[in-house]
Amino acid sequence: METYRFDFPLKVSPFDFIVHEVAEFPEGDNYFLYKLVKRNLNSNDPYIVGYLKSLGVRDFGYAGLKDRYALTVQNVSLDRFVGKKLIRRELGKYFALLYVGKIRHKIRTGFLRGNRFFIRHHNRLFTTFGYSLNYYDSQRLGKNVARGRRFLKENPSKKWERVFWVNSYQSFVWNLTAFEVLKLKIEEFNRRVGFEIVKPCRVEEGKVFHIFPCSRDKNALEDLLRELTKIRIPLVGYRVKLEPPIKEIVERILSKGGITVEDFRRWRLKGDYRPLAVEVGDIKRYPLSLRFFLPKGAFATVYIKLLWLWERFR
């Protein structure tokens, strides 16, 4: 399998990677809705949460964690009014809260539709696709995977960091499973066409890697990606039903890490199903940036790697 080292200058500056959250909320009077604008901070960063607590906020809700090394705009709910505009900055850190109105419920993941991205294209990425693979990327993986595997064998914990690390290991297992399924689907696709028009390629970024379909035929790639949107890969957990051939793939991956499904049960991780590919919407190229929309849970960095690989491979 051919291997490519991802070298696109994705986040040289926070302004190279801009994220706007898209969500819908039922009207009401129980919580205060704010737009959180941040740079070089996590959504639940102690710099933000600690300051809000000092203002008397006890209930801080958000639909998802946004990229740290980016300029992001997302919706948050507070149980206390802290003013129409609040701005805090230190060296390298910045966040602002802009008051929008009142909503009925505390914000949670179910309110999120997706995210609109504006990515600096550096006069590259001229070809786009209407679909993207739905892999987890380095923001979730990296060193978190080894920690998560280790804590899965220990007693369950409600500490946010440990739960995040365990979820990272779940994501890692999902990725490895998805890679194997993708290879099988590429073989099936080539058999239908009658010759090898698509092949798997490996893209590496640091210690994180992904398997992508490679082809010099854009229509073939688009067709394959469209087919992959119909496939759901289980995010392993005690309530997820594993069927062949995915059952054998997941069990082989877990056994290599010394993990069993019972470990997920102890942590009360039910599992879920995640599509192998998703549709990309609202695509537009500007002089400096590329705009596109992804449904919740999808990583823009994976889509950029797909576009980058197309340029490299062909």
Q: What is the pLDDT of residue 78?
A: 96
Query: Which segments in the chain show pLDDT lower than 50?
Result: none
Q: What is the pLDDT of residue 122?
A: 94
C-alpha distance across the termini of the chain, in Å:
16
Q: How many CB atoms lie within 10 A of CB 218?
A: 12
What are the structural domain ranges in the chain? 26-106, 127-280+295-313
CA distance 246 to 233: 8
Q: What is the pLDDT of residue 37?
A: 97
Q: Is 312 helix (H, G, I), strand (E, B) or coil?
A: helix
Report pTM: 0.93
Q: What is the pLDDT of residue 70?
A: 93
Q: What is the pLDDT of residue 91?
A: 85
CATH of region 26-106, choose from 3.40.50.10610, 3.30.70.3160, 3.40.470.10, 3.30.499.10: 3.30.70.3160
CA distance 256 to 198: 29
**Cβ atoms 235, 227 nearer than 8 A:** no
Q: Return the C-alpha torsion angle 71, 76, 79, 84, nearest 10.
A: 60
**Cβ atoms 122, 137 nearer than 8 A:** no
Number of alpha carbons in the 13 Å side-chain half-sphere of residue 6: 26
Instruction: Decide: residue 47, CB within 10 A, 0-12 exposed, 13-18 middle, 19+ buried.
Output: middle
**Cβ atoms 98, 38 nearer than 8 A:** no
Angle 41-46-52 (CA atoms, 0-180°, nearest 5)? 105
Segment 15-34, tens digit of pLDDT: 999 999 999 888 888 999 99
Count H helices, E strands: the chain?
7, 16
Q: What share of the chain is helix, strand, coil (3-state, %, to 5)?
A: 30, 30, 35
Q: Phi and psi of 124, rounded to 5°?
A: -135, -170
Q: What is the pLDDT of residue 311?
A: 93
